[in-house]
Homo-oligomer: A and B are copies of this chain.
Amino acid sequence: MGTRMTDAGMYAHLWGTDELAAVFAEEARLQTWLDILAGLARAQASLNIIPATAADAITAWARVELLDLDYVAEQTRLTSHSTLGLIRGLQRILPAHAREYVYVGATVQDLTDTWFGIVMRETGAVVWRDAWTIEGMLLDLAARYRDTPMAGRTHGQPGAPIIFGFKAASWADEMRRHLERLRAGRDRWLVGQLAGAVGVLGFFGPQGLELRARFCREVGLGDPGISWLTSRDRLAEFAHVLAMLCATLARIGGEIYELQRPEIGELREPARAGAVSSITMPHKRNPEASEHLDTLARLVRSHAALLLEGMVQQHERDGRAWKAEWVALPEVCLFTGAALGMARQVLADLEVDEQAMAGNLTRYGDRLASERVLAALSDRLGKHRAQALLQEVLSDSDSDLAVELSRRGVATVEEVHAWAARPAVDAATAMVDQVLRRVGAARKAETDTWR
């Protein structure tokens, strides 16, 4: 049994998804590693570096379920070598004629970096799909609540009105930029590695580059052009895009968390049947998925930072930063996957209380319309004089704005009420429409498949 709560039976669903577990689970990972070795063998056979029969045998027998994993682990510890245990384990099950032809001329990093390329491909596909789907949900929210006024809030304090659709459009707009980044980065990231001992494929002489090209095709990745053993910007960039994406989800989650306070009551994350928020306070209904988005964002950015730090490598291989990637990259992927899945659930049934939004807007009399009153009074008094006057009047939290302004002879009560009456959200609506139009057009040319 594992030692990490992230993999615990009770809690794994909080820190990953079944779908990504199918990429990262030990057996799945080992099978992918074996597939890479088989791909290498086939590429080598195609160049007569090894016999075709050996490649066939490796392809046929490189099955994780055939391996004696205890033996593999034991040999790994014995040799202190990251993949020699696996090689020996594989040799044991291969027919004798093929044993010497497995993993020829390649190094650990050829295997693990190519796996990283596959990991980014598989995870990236999930991320694109979920981010794209979430963007759709956010656009739906923006459209549905295009005309739902609510209080804007700055510094935690209610201010001038916005509309809820505008908030959702801002989320969608941010998500769109992540999708752009995912698309732009794809070809940079999805490359294989075949570098050999020090990056120059010395084992293979002049055949090296052709072998790499064929190998990359075998594993469904691009050719990197030049070895990237200590050139790690791809990982840092991929992780940072995911970390930014999770930050967006955390921003959305944080908004729900705050607006679900019953004192505000404008949003609520959906309650699942059977869910129990508290075993000591049965009345509680906690926005736990929303807050978990924040937790996951912290973890992802922390691991992304390790990958950025890890770009500063030495010479032709540098175990110090490289091995940290073994921990950091999978965590970035798994936590991001969990966050996306959770965000989809939260957004699918987000409860929006339009009545509470309307109520909070008028709860403080005309005060939340102070920007409009300022604008109107500015025409009479000048902007800064108007601001100073209003500041004075409103600093008494009990004052009635219309009465006070009328008492000071700068406006009638009716005028003030008229100014305050209609939320000044024309531009908000226009921005929503513009986002719907622009992002909608981009989506027309796309599907939920990453390309």
Contact = CB atoms under 8 A, between A and B. Distances in A.
5 contacts: A9-B70, A233-B248, A247-B309, A282-B394, A299-B324
Given A301-B308, A323-B292, A4 B330 contact: yes
A248 to B, nearest CB: 7
Given A155-B317, A244-B311, A9 B73 contact: yes
Given A26-B2, A159-B281, A173-B231, A14 B378 contact: no
Given A159-B316, A160-B280, A254-B312, 17 more contacts: A4-B4, A6-B327, A8-B29, A9-B69, A9-B73, A10-B73, A10-B86, A79-B276, A100-B381, A102-B384, A160-B200, A200-B425, A247-B311, A263-B360, A281-B370, A288-B319, A297-B312
A156 B308 contact: no
Interface stretch (A129-137, A174-182, A214-222): A174-182
Contact of A390 (B248, B282, B390, B430): B282
A291 interface: yes
A412 interface: no
Given A2-B7, A247-B236, A387 B226 contact: no
Contact of A427 (B153, B200, B271, B292): B200
B3 A25 contact: yes
Given A15-B327, A76-B11, A371-B202, A255 B314 contact: yes
A68 to B, nearest CB: 11
Interface string A176-215: 0110110010001000000011111111111011000000
Given A72-B10, A76-B10, A308-B247, A227 B3 contact: no
A31 B395 CA distance: 33
Contacts of A11: 76, 82, 326
A57 interface: no
Contacts of A228: 170, 173
Interface in A292-349: 292, 294-295, 297-299, 301-306, 308-321, 323-324, 326-327, 330-331, 334
Contacts of A282: 370, 374, 387, 390-391, 393-394
Contact of A280 (B79, B106, B251): B106
A230 B159 CA distance: 15
**Could you say which of A13, A15, A27, A326 has the most chain B C-beta atoms within 10 Å of its C-beta?**
A326
Interface string A353-364: 000000010011
Nearest to A27: B1
Nearest to A85: B10
